[in-house]
A and B are shown apart, each in its own frame.
Chain A
Amino acid sequence: MDKPRYRTCTQLFGSTLLPVALSLACTGSVDSPTSRNQRPNSDNAPLGGNNGSGGSVGTPGTGGVGNPAVGGASPGTGAQPSFVIPAGAPGPTALRRLTNDEYRTTVQDLLGLAAPPADPLLPDTRSLGYSNFSSALTVSAVIGSQYATMATRLAGEAAISTLAPCVAPAAEADCASAFIDAFGKQVHRQPLSAKDNGAYRALYDLVRTTDTYEAGIRGVLEAMLQSPALLYRMEYGAGAAARTLSPYEVASELSYLFSGSLPDTELMQAADANALSTPVQIEAQARRLLALPRAQANVGKFLEQWFLVSDMSGLLKDANLFPAFASAEKSAMEASTDRFVASVMWEGDGTVKTLLSAPFAFVNSSLAPIYGVPDPGMGDTFVKTDVSSVGRAGMLTLPSLLALQAKEDESAPVKRGKFVRTRMLCQPLPPPPPNVKIDPPAPDPNLTTRERFAAHSASPACSGCHSMMDPIGFGLEAYDAIGTYRTVENGRPVDSNGELTGTDVDGKFTGGVELATRLSTSALVRQCAAIQAARYTYGRQEIETDTQLAAVLDTQLGASGMDVRELLVAITQSASFTTRTFVP
């Protein structure tokens, strides 16, 4: 462990993702480069560059995507898959604890409840903005006891006559066995092993010796609802180092990706029949699941985690400056975001391009002043409104996103610039160099935020990396701490001139609309979308195969703006969806 090593911006930006060479580097205490981003382009056939495997790839960019079920009508026996994806080294085996949302929904489905149970669960630890990274989720003592409490309550209240009916002349023992077989298969998401079956049966027998049939079933339920087989999804397959996932593991992978819950009957039947192994079979299921209502919430969850707008609950703003934020505006922003995402995904073309450039927003009375449009006069009801003439375009200019990427009392050009770099372009930035005194300028009533921060980009110790963030963030200066459009700050005109560098859409721009429009045509942004989808699908940081896949998918989906629904289907078509490398 010798001296600390810090990456330069140049090294970071020289990753395989970014074709544009950069001459910028962070200055300051920069030592020798790490080998982190200098992995040799691995031995397996390179995926990047032009995808040679066929101009025949049916890009379903138009056509069926409006209704994925239509697009999926043709895949079936004998059909060709819509995507041809060269194989790359698969990701590592994984033990994936369900997220709290997944657990609640799964339990809701298992027990046929009207709503997901709301018992307290310690919040999921997020990694890279996502709540489903397997490395961040464990069963700690606290959540373990919460699962137990929840399981006890749910088992006690469950409708046994529906879940495990037993009417004479059926023998209770047979009813119990039938319940354990059938319900246990749903809980474990695969047929029970003889050992597990026997253990559940022994538990039933134990309770039944002193209590009723119903109590025995409740005892089994209490165990099943906190079983590790329910709490964890295995992506392990079996065998040596290179492994193929079992059909049941694939069924769960598909189901949690699109539905956020356990596999439905059809998916389980497909797994039973070993009909989840070919790309065509998987594509048919993916398209079927994508057409179900639950996919809407789940795809929305992916997009909102990608853009870091999935949770505003902890966001505080200065109550003197923004008196209505906590009471009305924050919740309206969340709802407006949901509506926008749903509108683009399920009423529009569903593309990254539209997500970033759509001219409309959903406005209600409390958001109208923030958007700078007349009150639509419908109270809390949202009205789809053209906001292109008042400085808005797509996700990047949503008040929710801008308020989250801001401080309590003012805008935050650095934060916003960093957001665009890391979340939209997938270009990681190194931390500030060590021992550099960085003093954020204190508010000055006579200067604009930009004027105060300008000095900060002038310092040679900071300017290397800050030149990657600040010029982008300055372009969003026309939105204040809660995303209200403004042309004047502290009595002085707002300067929202910005500049993109180190991208495929470089150049000067003015304001959020121009920035968002520019980004909406960027191949880097589309590839970043694919990387984000891989993070969400696999619940881990991206690997080389994912960045290579991103380039391939851009060649297949990029021309039409990268349909997010097609992107998710395409990811299931990669060999790495069904294979893993065992990590001993």
Chain B
Amino acid sequence: MSRSLIKRRSLLKGLGAASFLAVPVFRASLAEAQATPLRLIVLYFPGGAMMTKGSQGMFSYDKMLAPLAPLSSDILLFENIVEPPGPGGSDLGHGSESTILTGNAGPEQPEGVVIVPAGLTSFDQVVAQNIGKNTRFASLQFGVFSDTADCNGFKSSRIVYSNGASVPNVLDPAIMFSRLFNGAPPGPAPSDADALAKQQALAAKRQSILDLLKGQVTDIQGLVGSAEKLRLEEHLGSLRELEKSIMSPGGGAGGGVVAVPGASCGAPSLGSGTDVPAVSAAMNELLYQSINCDATRVASLQMLHSGAELYFSWLGLNSLGHHPMQHAPGPDFVVAQNWLLAQLAVVIKRLKDTPEGSGSMLDNSLVFLSSEMGDGSVHLNHPVPVLLAGKAGGQLRTGRTFNANGNNRANLALNIGNLMGVPLTNWGDPAWITGPLDLS
């Protein structure tokens, strides 16, 4: 019987309070290319949000979206935007989260089987492949809770895809923490020649190892079929990311991170890590810090996966899990959805509360928030809740609703690509893509 070799609790204990103090405050040095970089943040919650009664296709800030109401001036809320059924039965609701960022319903396949269409890439990853070169991490995937051992297939539980492979969320705050903060901190350039030479030798060795590994991956690419060739691009991406963490002497232009005195970025408290609210708070904080410190400009946060049976016991909701609750919708389900959206609202609010230039960090960001279905009680995708937050550097007019008139959510991805300066080409299911929406 295989058990997790790493016990989260002990790992967190290992990262005790003392180690937080020792963590370097850092800020990516390569950010200098752009004074006000644009960021793309994807936020996902399962189970949908019910329409306001009587207004077909309309969402409003009462009921489930209530936690977002205070942010409405920074939000563009979509009405009547849909995801049509696909060959894989995406309007079953169950597991249709794989279509949200990919604009592709994919092939029909048995539940629980991982078959990702060759080369499939979600729009956030297309953006990351282009704008991620300038930051330590091209993108980061945050998750809060998953109870699925068997259903990590294309049809469920993952939202981010790259080169035909699902990109896993990091669900353990301790792992995300060490990823973000435990890289070799760049010290000042050593003053004595010996230390400097050692540092140079170490950098040369690490670069040489990565060159060797990249060469080997490329050699394998020459032997395998096209789908696997693309999947190996993920491996190459991982090696390129490691390359960025190699310190050149003094932590200078060679990459990585440098300290910015006074910058408000640093290690957050992780919470206990053993319960969902604590993990959510920790991931929320880590996501904020990763953006604030310019460690990445593309991030996603997936609260739960579709079909999770999680009981929201911290809210006193002990009679049904999250998914069964959708099938028996009542006041409890509204409370649960409110909690999920309140977590996501905090992400937006943190960015809004962080000054940047003449405005806020949110003004220079684009947040895409959505769910896999509309009315969870019937698992319908007509319409689905979708909103954009932030002004994308002044390009987007917020504080309004937009009637999409039954347009496909996949087309909104084209708008997002354009706003991020990365037009999407040959992306999504051709049957779904008709062109960007007119958001003027």
**Residues of A near any B CB (own CB < 8 A):** 1, 3-6, 34, 36, 93, 95, 101, 104, 116, 118-120, 122-123, 125-129, 131, 133, 135-136, 138-145, 148, 195-196, 199-200, 202-203, 206-207, 210-211, 219, 222-223, 226-229, 232, 234, 236, 300-301, 304, 308-314, 316, 318, 334-335, 337-338, 407-408, 428, 431-432, 434-435, 437-440, 442-443, 541, 582-584
Q: Are B380 and A435 in contact (CB under 8 A)?
A: yes
Contact across chains for B3 and A431 when beta carbons are under 8 A apart:
no
Residue B225 at the chain A interface, CB threshold 8 Å = yes
Q: At the interface, yes or no: B110 with Cβ under 8 Å from chain A?
A: yes
Complex Cα–Cα for A309 and B149 (A):
11
Judge whether A125 and B224 touch: CB under 8 Å.
no
The answer for the CA separation of A3 and B108 in the assembled complex, in Å, is 12
> B315 at interface (Cβ–Cβ under 8 A)?
no
**B197 interface contact, C-beta 8 A:** yes
A364 to B220, CA, bound (A): 51
Given A222-B209, A223-B212, the answer on whether A135 and B309 have CB atoms closer than 8 Å is no
Q: Are A203 and B209 in contact (CB under 8 A)?
A: yes
The answer to whether A311 and B149 touch across the interface, beta carbons within 8 angstroms, is yes
Asked if B400 CB lies within 8 Å of chain A CBs, one says: no
Interface residues on chain B, number (Cβ under 8 Å): 85
Contact string, B61-105, partner A, CB cutoff 8 A, digits 1/0?
000000000000000000000000111011110100000000001
Interface of chain B: mostly helix, strand, loop or mixed? loop
B409 at the interface (CB under 8 A from A): no
**Residue pair A440, B91 in contact (C-beta under 8 Å):** no
Supply 19 further A-B pairs (C-beta < 8 A) apart from A118-B5, A120-B6, A408-B311: A119-B6, A120-B175, A127-B153, A128-B112, A133-B114, A136-B114, A141-B237, A141-B238, A144-B238, A229-B216, A236-B223, A310-B1, A314-B149, A334-B1, A337-B1, A338-B1, A407-B309, A408-B321, A431-B92
Closest to B152 in A: A125
Q: Is the CB of B153 within 8 A of A139?
A: no
Q: How far does the alpha carbon of A234 sit from the alpha carbon of B224 in the complex, in Å?
A: 9
Instruction: Give the complex CA separation of A203 and B208 in angstroms.
Output: 7
Contacts of A440 in B (CB 8 A): 320, 324, 327-328
Contact A583 B2 (CB under 8 A): no
In chain B, residues 197-229, which have Cβ atoms closer than 8 Å to a Cβ of chain A?
A: 197, 201, 204-205, 208-209, 212-213, 215-217, 219-220, 223-228
Q: Taking A4-B85, A234-B223, A583-B225 as contacts, is the C-beta distance between A142 and B324 under 8 angstroms?
A: no
Closest Cβ neighbor of A304 among chain B residues: B1
How many angstroms from the CA of A304 to the CA of B238 in the assembled complex?
32
Does B166 belong to the interface (CB within 8 Å)? yes
> In the bound complex, what is the Cα–Cα distance between A308 and B328 (angstroms)?
28
In the complex, chain B residues whose CB is within 8 Å of the CB of A95 = 220, 224, 228, 231-232
CA distance A360 to B87 in the complex (A): 47
Beta-carbon nearest neighbor of B87 in chain A: A1
Residues in A whose Cβ lies below 8 Å from that of B114: 125, 127, 133, 135-136
Q: List 19 A-B contacts (CB under 8 A).
A: A6-B89, A95-B228, A101-B2, A123-B4, A126-B149, A126-B150, A136-B114, A136-B153, A141-B138, A145-B238, A207-B201, A210-B197, A210-B201, A219-B209, A428-B111, A434-B89, A435-B379, A437-B327, A442-B319
- Nearest CB of B to A308, in Å: 7
The answer to whether B328 and A439 have CB atoms under 8 Å apart is yes
A-B contact count (CB 8 A): 219
Residues of B within 8 A of A136 (CB): 114, 152-153, 166
Determine whether the beta carbon of A4 is less than 8 Å from that of B318. no
Residues of B within 8 A of A229 (CB): 216, 220
A104 touches B152 (CB 8 A): no
The answer to whether A138 and B1 touch across the interface, beta carbons within 8 angstroms, is no
Q: How far is the CB of B98 from chain A (nearest CB, A)?
A: 13
List the interface of chain B (C-beta within 8 A of A): 1-6, 11, 85-87, 89-92, 94, 105, 108, 110-116, 137-139, 141, 147, 149-150, 152-153, 165-168, 170, 172, 175, 179, 197, 201, 204-205, 208-209, 212-213, 215-217, 219-220, 223-228, 231-232, 234-235, 237-239, 241-242, 309, 311, 318-321, 324, 327-328, 377-380, 429, 431-432
- Contact at B226–A140, with CB atoms within 8 Å? no
Distance, CA A443 to CA B324, complexed state (A): 12
A304 to B137, CA, bound (A): 37
Contact, CB under 8 Å: A437 / B378: yes
A229-B223 Cα distance, complex, nearest whole Å: 12
Q: Which residue of B lies closest to A313 (CB)?
A: B4
Question: Does B179 lie within 8 Å of A311, measured CB to CB?
Answer: no
Query: Considering the chains assembled together, what is the distance between the CA atoms of A125 and B235 in angstroms?
Result: 16
CB–CB A432/B150 < 8 A = no
Shortest CB–CB separation between residue B275 and chain A, in angstroms?
11
* Contact A5:B149 (CB < 8 A) given known A133-B114, A141-B241, A142-B168: no
Chain B residues with CB below 8 A from A120, complex form: 6, 11, 172, 175
Q: Nearest-CB distance from B196 to chain A (Å)? A: 12
Residues of A with C-beta under 8 A to B235:
138-139, 144, 228
In contact, A223 and B167 (Cβ under 8 angstroms): no
